[in-house]
Amino acid sequence: MKIVMIGQKGIPTLFGGIERHVEEVSYRLAEKMDSTGSPYQVFVYTRGYYTPKSKKKYRKINLIHLPTFKTKHLDTISHVFFATFHAIFKVKPDLIHYHGIGPALCLWIPKLLSPQIKIIFTFHCRDYFHKKWNSFARLSLKLGEIIGCYLADEIIAVSSEIQKYVKDNYKKEVIFIPHGVNQEKSIPAKLIKKWDLEKDNYILAVSRLIAHKGLHYLIKAYQEIETDKKLVIVGPSFYTQDYENELKKLAQNNPKIIFLGARHGQILKELFSNAFIFIHPSEQEGLPLTVLEAASFGRPLLLSDIEAHQGMFEDLPFFFRSKNAKNLKENLESLLKNPHLTRQRARKIKSYSRSHYNWDKVVESIILKYS
């Protein structure tokens, strides 16, 4: 069976939840056999600025490099448009898997031109709530959601919240398949020592620098707290340079607030392993993979009380009122004074993560929708 993945920037993952999802699912699929006893042939479309054009294969996955109009509003949709036509007329797959409501804008094309191709749509997030988009972009994203929900042969929701939303608003059958997470072992601080980071001497946030991620609330709260622990913010801006500048202005050159940009591999593992606490102040999410990754390293979690967060680990994380820097400050101060409490919760969260979020089970569930 030939399977095409469309919507991601590329793999291997540098940043981005959809990219991580596609990578983890694709390489596991490429290791398996389909119902005829043949290996799954998996094709992942990539963008030149994300995946080196020289890389044609990755973990048995076929990488296809196509151009994109690299602007804030045209980057994704132009790449998805090119990928859709390339898939139909060059790869000629048995199945196209679209990831995200933006890419779903093009889902009607194979339905019209090659109706024999099965179409899967994974609903990752209601992106039109994200503050970086203008009104036309939000309308386009909403249209992509409508097209995906009405025309896809199968709909996958990454959270129970999205599953309920689709059922209530579109009266369509949708299966809930969450992200998985790799179960990680904590490793000692070595590479991160160059930023004077040691075990438990910093607070960690990992997120793209986008307004709806709520990092401005975190910086405002941190600035009001007396602590020796540093605040480490990991992640790139993505067509959001103005917001990155705003965050750095809020930081007021505080030497204890460290912006590390995009990090992956060993450094990111060390950052997760040794953080005192992981904070995710987002205003809107689907199922945030960075929170799952923090949990897999056994980090205590302080999360905004949005519905998506509350459905992830039951009552094991600590919560603060979303969009409320004052309440975030109060909760963080309390946890800084009670490290024994954070350690207790961290052990339970790691155990919960191991039993509820498993990539191998995710792939088995997706294969059932492919067949």
Output the pLDDT for position 35: 83
pLDDT in the model for residue 321: 98
- Residues pairing with 47 in the sheet: 66
Supply the pLDDT for residue 133: 87
Long-range contacts of 262-266 (CB under 8 A, 24+ apart): 262/14, 262/15, 262/234, 262/235, 262/236, 263/234, 264/13, 264/14, 264/15, 266/187, 266/191
CATH number for region 2-177 = 3.40.50.2000
Q: Give per-residue pLDDT as tens, 288-303.
A: 999 999 999 999 999 9
Q: Which two tokens stand for residue 17?
A: 């939840």
In the chain, which residues fall in CATH 3.40.50.2000? 2-177, 191-356
Predicted confidence at residue 183, as pLDDT, reads 82
CATH class given for the domain over 191-356: alpha beta
Q: For position 128, what pLDDT does the model report?
A: 87
From the list 123, 90, 91, 130, the residue with the least C-alpha distance to 107 is 123
**Which residues of the chain register pLDDT less than 50?**
none
Place of tokens 């438990």: 200
The token pair that represents 325 in the structure block = 């820097």
- Specify the pLDDT at position 15: 85
User: Which residues partner with 33 through β-bridges?
Assistant: 39
Angle at 200 between CA 353 and CA 258, to 5 degrees: 100
Two structure tokens written together for 293 = 């990754």
